[in-house]
Amino acid sequence: MRLFEVVEPEFKRKKYRGRFREPERETPEEEGVAGFYSQIKHDKREQDKIIKRSKTPRKADLDPFWKYLKYIKEEQLMDNPFFPNFFIVTNIVDSEGRRMNKVKMEKLHSLMTLTPDQLVNMFDNYFGVIPDIVKEDYEAIQQRNLTRFRGEPPVKQMLILFVGYIKALVQGRTDASHPILNQAVLHLRDMKNQFQAMWDIKISNLMIRNPNNPELVFTDVFA
């Protein structure tokens, strides 16, 4: 099966709709995976993958996320670790002739799963600097023996600052010290122009791969 191939109807409407459910928002890993225009299910056979499907058939081809995947495929960008890995993208036609996009892709994790130590390391790795306010928050976190982002003000502020740095980076208001990240950003800017889209950089649209050794991944950064 080729990527972005139109597939003729495989399921009746009732059975087809039953294959996807809204995720129960119980864990940080699930947050940010299902957006306003899409929904996910976890792949029971491959625990490291998810299946994501558009929820609005009439707008499926207009959703920037699907344009994003197509660009990544055409430009062969999956070797760049800042872009998600995906394996099968199909345009499904259901029994009523409605087209919906479906993709099997790697399972990623929320920024909320990062520890303060990991976040400080990401600042240093990507930007070559740790802002003074982040250092102050980090010291406060250490003094209070906090280890996770659970709504604690100094920790949440660190995360917001990190996302702010990423937003400034893609908008050209700051630079990264990481050459591969800079390459990814150039492609993101090109996508934005091609899609005539707006930036949608926020905590839920940035995720990480490898929770033990986190890597930033741009997942759904256009609106």
Q: Please write the tens of the pLDDT for every residue from 124-174.
A: 999 998 888 888 877 877 776 655 545 555 567 788 889 999 999 999 999
Res 57 pLDDT > 80: no
Q: What's the pLDDT tens digit per position in 6-54?
A: 333 332 333 333 333 333 333 333 333 455 556 777 777 778 888 887 7
pLDDT of 28 reads 37
Buried b / exposed e across 186-201, counting CB within 10 Å, b at 16+? ebbeebbeeeeeeeeb
Q: Which of 146, 50, 24, 137 is nearest to 102 (CA)?
A: 50
Report d(CA 195, CA 223) in Å as an integer. Answer: 10
Residue percentage of the chain with pLDDT more than 90: 39
CATH fold, domain 5-107, is Phosphorylase Kinase; domain 1 (3.30.200)
Report d(CA 32, CA 150) in Å as an integer. Answer: 16
pLDDT band of residue 97 (cuts 50, 70, 90) is: confident
Write out the DSSP string of 70-116. HHHHHTT-TTSTTS--EEEEEEEE-TTS-EEEEEEEE--EEGGG--H
Task: End-to-end CA distance of the chain: give it in Å, rounded.
Answer: 29
Per-domain boundaries in the chain: 5-107, 110-218
The mean pLDDT value for 198-214 works out to 93
